[in-house]
Structure 1
């Protein structure tokens, strides 16, 4: 299958949950939570797309960059590109149910590894979904990252221990999931975390801890203080708070404040290689993406995930050639302009 065929297959199998629109701008799926859309009016998801679209690339072709290096390293593992699969759960609830949760997790974790990168697995109102993700990580020699919802600390630490047993490379808390409608509907309490809560969580494990959902300089600095190894600048895909700022709005100032003190990841409307480039230029070290991997997994299984990531890698490679970036560390904010 080529990318067009994978997208067509995913569209047919997702039964209206996702239209796999030519421009994935959050309009078709506005308010579809549960589902694939943004919370409320969908304005937060739409803003993710709109603000990323305003980041323009500076074309440069007088230079020596002919074969740029897209590879990076994360906690001792070499990745073919600075893209990581974002944590996603609820195949039956949010994606139309073509794949079981177990099938979805296996396709994404294996497909990412086939494309020389990593997937994060997620947590859900159904505790079995988290276990399905851990099984996929264990089946692939621990090459994956486990992200846990902001439950009470006791439960989070229990889930961290399960991740350790699976051999996971790292763990994280998607504190941006504190207001998820789907968790409330399934009777699973989640909520914000205090500084003391986070210190307890970080001290409970020797694995690197990621805090996902950091959207201010103040909280980025707190993440450094509590000992987290990475943050994800993210508004949870616009799925938790209507009219929220986008990652593009806040990433540059967060990077200015904590770059080099903590690993910075970011997400929000990442659909192709140039989007990866834009986030790196805005200050991220790594970029997360969800929808293309969902389309790949549902459209054509693990091979579809691999093919979609390779498609994004090729786009990143071409963007680097046409902006003069020899490697990922060469990408900076001089190569873009926010219009």
Structure 2
């Protein structure tokens, strides 16, 4: 991996797509495909981005936006922007420093990083790489509750302040992905998981053979209740798309819900995350924080998600692109670009603070095409 910054010229990297193009050139084809592949036809993956284009912003004018503040409080942590890093696996495939570099980049941008159980460095090593950073842990429950408890204790001891649980993956496996895409990638360790009957140095290219025997599937509401009883950390459920599930999540006492379709990598044909967001926001009714990920590619996308009720927006693939370009610095610059774009979009929309971003700022395109919706609605 070249140490020359991919962002030497800011003019050359004014879009996340610029990071994507360079990352694709730098990464081996099998790694690029692993990071990029969708489920089945790829409909949901494509919809995640297309759906943002169907929302229109209604800016307010003649407001004092000489100073714009993008700061936000998420899960009790003060962030410089309402944009943070989604959990994704195997960062060492993008850069030798893997999640340690991602943590440094997030800390430099003063935002949060959700560390995956499929990280290639231990929870402790990642925490030590950026001691001042805001870290949350994406938990994969194991069949043995004692092992899951051990992971919880490790996360607590290492300074992680929230536990994320993905709930949209009742069965492990990837649709429409030839296994060879990962088999040829350079192996990396998975130090945060214990696999039954697996060697202690199991590699990422081999781990799928041990998933079914070692990791709990499916996860149910009983597991969420168990988790609530076994940790004092805040709990976020990632992967909820329906209002009914959102209401149930509130009943069992979660602190946050991330509206997500797993980046279009699980069940194909589900709604785009941004389209599912308004119903979840209404169902939660302020009883938990609501976030969204999937398809965010600009600061304007972030603004739209905030106007639809998200407290924070999470990005996954773009961070991996930055990591592949220039390690921690590439991650920082991806996040910095989103912050700068959000700052400008807020000013142009008449918002000087995140709290100024209201539902009246956004309308679905169908209002103009068919007259079905009213400005300021969440639909």
Superposition TM-score tier, normalisation by shorter sequence: 0.7 to 0.9
Give the whole-Å Cα distance in 2 for the aligned partners of 1:159 and 1:231.
Answer: 21
Query: Structure 1: where are the runs of 5+ without partners?
Result: 20-31
Does the Cα contact within 8 Å between 1:150 and 1:192 map onto a contact in 2? no
1:169 corresponds to: 161
Give the whole-Å Cα distance in 1 for the aligned partners of 2:350 and 2:144.
Answer: 46
Among 319, 335, 339, which residue is 1:313 paired with?
339
Among 209, 214, 218, which residue is 1:186 paired with?
209
Give the whole-Å Cα distance in 2 for the aligned partners of 1:138 and 1:223.
Answer: 32
1:219 corresponds to: 245
1:331 corresponds to: 357
Among 96, 99, 111, which residue is 2:95 paired with?
99
2:41 corresponds to: 41
Residues 82-97 of structure 1: pairs in structure 2 closer than 5 A:
82-91=82-91, 97=93
Give the whole-Å Cα distance in 2 for the aligned partners of 1:61 and 1:14.
Answer: 45
Give the whole-Å Cα distance in 2 for the aligned partners of 1:87 and 1:219.
Answer: 21
Are 1:284 and 2:310 matched, yes or no?
yes
- TM-score, normalization by structure 1: 0.86
Give the whole-Å Cα distance in 2 for the aligned partners of 1:232 and 1:130.
Answer: 24
Are 1:109 and 2:103 matched, yes or no?
yes
Residues 317 and 119 of structure 1: CA distance in aligned 2, closer, same or farther (over 3 Å): same
Q: Which runs of 4 or more aligned residues in structure 1 lie more than 6 Å from their structure 2 counterparts after TM superposition?
A: none
Q: Post-superposition shift, 1:60?
A: 3.6
Give the whole-Å Cα distance in 2 for the aligned partners of 1:238 and 1:281.
Answer: 23
Query: Structure 2: where are the runs of 5+ without partners?
Result: 1-6, 175-203, 366-379
Give deviations 1:214-237, integer Å, cap 9, x for gaps: 111111111111111111110110
Q: Post-superposition shift, 1:151?
A: 4.0
Select the structure of larger CA radius of gyration: 2
Does the Cα contact within 8 Å between 2:82 and 2:313 map onto a contact in 1? yes
Among 16, 36, 47, which residue is 2:29 paired with?
16
Give the whole-Å Cα distance in 1 for the aligned partners of 2:277 and 2:339.
Answer: 22
Aligned to 2:210, the other structure's residue is in SS state: coil
Residues 245-264 of structure 1: pairs in structure 2 closer than 5 A:
245-264=271-290
Residues 76 and 12 of structure 1: CA distance in aligned 2, closer, same or farther (over 3 Å): same
Residues 305 and 98 of structure 1: CA distance in aligned 2, closer, same or farther (over 3 Å): closer
- TM-score, normalization by structure 2: 0.77
Q: Post-superposition shift, 1:137?
A: 2.1
Give the whole-Å Cα distance in 2 for the aligned partners of 1:253 and 1:215.
Answer: 8
Give deviations 1:11-69, integer Å, cap 9, x for gaps: 221233587xxxxxxxxxxxx5x442211111111111111221122234322222221
The alignment yields a C-alpha RMSD, in angstroms, of 2.2
Residues 234-249 of structure 1: pairs in structure 2 closer than 5 A:
234-249=260-275
